[in-house]
Structure 1
């Protein structure tokens, strides 16, 4: 039985929104094409996409047809304010008509003669991605079919935007991480170094980092850190903490004091951020390391003629989250000739469903004295092997030159 004209019209409208060919378009082209189709399908004058910024809690116009000035002028709408803000806050469709007293933050909507507006939230699962709204210059009653169709278009755009943002975040985080990790480990008389960094499987690049830098008085700063979280946000915070730690390290010869200042900075400027950090200073004679831990797991030390062991260092509180900035402690670690120190992040030793102590025992058993590069290879083979780590892994090996080495 042939479809009646009304059903045929509805099917054509659905096909215009769900057209598989749209999936091959780049996001900018997809937004423009979809908004043009929405204008045609609804017979309206304007259609706009506003992206939601979770940190700023506001919407920003990123694509529009009919009122392109929304994009050109960088229109921003706070969450809960005005028409689009109400759509975002309620996550429900909203219809407003000029003269009904509904507040509108963006004056362009009324200035262009719009009379009726319909907005729907753009959702990717439970995540608010933005708002899609349309406007008509003549009085219009938007019925349930109109709302359902616009919701379908919004869902398609939300998914495309979420995929694009995730891809951009991964690329940006990866580039930022590479730029902040040492491109080449320094050459320091009396010491040798090797390092590894491996992103976790199925996760965006996170906030793990290691660092080595010279300090006044022929000293050397050694850092291993881990910012909680993944993605671009964690990588950006990692970059800020790394830079701040380097700056504080120039002012103080006490790792505990440096971590205290860093925690104070994080508490004030990085709300909700938490990081664990091991920071040590190798003294000019290369025979001692002054070390402080901010919630970070202890390094492993291998000394010629003795089994490797976890360094006995008190674990003070992590950096950030409003935790105390005082009461941190320094511990002196002896570095005999030929000794090897291994610092790492918890992704190396933690496994879902396994006890952390088991991972630490495997790590200690894999660490022996010798060349740092060989030590890193042995540790990665023993703890990672052929199974990808679930979390990011950073590893740094520091070896003191044996006494009989020229």
Structure 2
């Protein structure tokens, strides 16, 4: 039976330097985690070292990197927070040691199959948030001492930052892929209308729930919507996708935008409780002469008619979807859409700045609007109004009613980002 190792100050310093080595900063996340596990195995004289990262939406720990227990990673072992050894470390957010491992202590059969006899695990935390669990094991009986715990916690702190970065990258990539799959890759060709749109992801806060959509209904009316589901990251993008699909379904049965948003509000309250969503839903008449709009807490669109400066549409603004109790008296505003007129829909990422009133951003946007093709106007707005590195997502949708005096122009435009 091995006793607690007495660690000299010189050895303690060597261990700390091995973990805080600046050269580790040049490694990518996977390489860094792998190197940290190799070093901690050597420094603590253990046989196994494993990192399990928290998968937030399932509340499970997933084996991500391992030395001596590589089979855990190959099998994709996962355990719920609170279950087994790693789950206990995660639930208590405190170090846990086991001197003589028994089947009652662990739920991972691989630990027993490999003959692990002693375990030490510590939580991986970043800014107070649980990132995962780091644990080491010995194939012989061993009592881990305070110096072992402190060293392993130091390694966990270093690995936590890498694990957090990895989770953010994966979350962002998944959210961006989902969001781009849900946004129209090509806006429809619609007689009498020019369409153009842009989407730019926010750099500071990550992908959010901004979206836009344009579709032709069997009645000949054209539906157009822009919206923003609260939150950021993959969960927000998933909710956005469900809301977008639900609105399309309600649009088939509701010829009043307010009615469609009322149904959507009820759906969000029931199935997406806690989600706040803003949206403007517009229905453009088959002859393109008018547009019916209902607004749920979203910024009103701009309307630019020939010879006139762009102005905010004077429409009734009802509260956002998913807030308070569902309301049944949402309102619709009818606006004339003369030939050559342009509607500009946008999300707050285009006009909001941390250092100024939102009215300033809206005025800047209005000043950028010109009487030109929808595609050219989108380019102008993004070049003169959008920040180079936006803090939040930007969605922009421009709809222009064609004029008989227009030269030959394409009726539909490819969506670009």
Shift of residue 387, structure 1, vs aligned partner: 5.8
1:75-132 deviation digits (Å, cap 9, x = unpaired): 3332233332232223221223348998544354455443332111112332321000
The corresponding residue for 2:141 is 139
Shift of residue 74, structure 1, vs aligned partner: 3.6
Distance 1:368 1:100, change over 3 A: same
The corresponding residue for 1:402 is 403
The corresponding residue for 1:390 is 391
Distance 1:39 1:405, change over 3 A: closer
1:314-361 deviation digits (Å, cap 9, x = unpaired): 222222356515332222222122211111111222222322233333
Distance 1:360 1:281, change over 3 A: same
Moved more, 194-203 or 310-319: 194-203
1:238 aligns with 2:269: no
Q: Is the 8 A contact 1:256 1:329 kept in 2?
A: yes
User: Aligned partners of 2:7, 2:268: CA distance in 1, in Å?
Assistant: 63
Q: Is the 8 A contact 1:317 1:324 kept in 2?
A: no
TM-score norm. by structure 2 comes to 0.85
RMSD value, Cα: 2.9
Q: Is the 8 A contact 2:269 2:326 kept in 1?
A: no
1:83 aligns with 2:85: yes
Distance 1:353 1:323, change over 3 A: farther
Q: 1:128 aligns with which of 130, 134, 150?
A: 130
Q: Is the 8 A contact 2:95 2:121 kept in 1?
A: yes
Mapping 1:152-171, distance limit 5 Å:
152-171=154-173
Mapping 1:3-402, distance limit 5 Å:
6-98=8-100, 103-110=105-112, 112-320=114-322, 323-324=325-326, 326-380=328-382, 382-384=384-386, 388-402=389-403
Q: Is the 8 A contact 1:261 1:325 kept in 2?
A: no
Local SS of the residue matching 2:250 = helix
Distance 1:129 1:195, change over 3 A: same
Q: Which has the higher contact order (CA 8 A, sep 6+)?
A: 2
Distance 1:281 1:210, change over 3 A: same
Q: Is the 8 A contact 1:124 1:158 kept in 2?
A: yes
1:293-326 deviation digits (Å, cap 9, x = unpaired): 1211111112234443222222222223565153
Moved more, 114-123 or 253-262: 253-262
User: Aligned partners of 2:320, 2:77: CA distance in 1, in Å?
Assistant: 40
User: Aligned partners of 2:197, 2:138: CA distance in 1, in Å?
Assistant: 61
- The answer for unaligned runs of 5 or more in structure 1 is none
Q: Is the 8 A contact 1:96 1:102 kept in 2?
A: no
Local SS of the residue matching 1:132 = strand
User: Aligned partners of 2:103, 2:187: CA distance in 1, in Å?
Assistant: 65
Moved more, 188-197 or 64-73: 64-73
Moved more, 85-94 or 71-80: 71-80
Q: Is the 8 A contact 1:83 1:102 kept in 2?
A: no
Q: Is the 8 A contact 2:33 2:162 kept in 1?
A: no
Q: Is the 8 A contact 1:31 1:63 kept in 2?
A: yes
Shift of residue 368, structure 1, vs aligned partner: 4.4
Q: Is the 8 A contact 1:317 1:323 kept in 2?
A: no
Moved more, 102-111 or 305-314: 102-111
User: Aligned partners of 1:382, 1:33: CA distance in 2, in Å?
Assistant: 47
Shift of residue 147, structure 1, vs aligned partner: 0.9
1:149-199 deviation digits (Å, cap 9, x = unpaired): 111221222222222222233333333333333233322111112223233
Moved more, 272-281 or 31-40: 31-40
TM-score norm. by structure 1 comes to 0.87
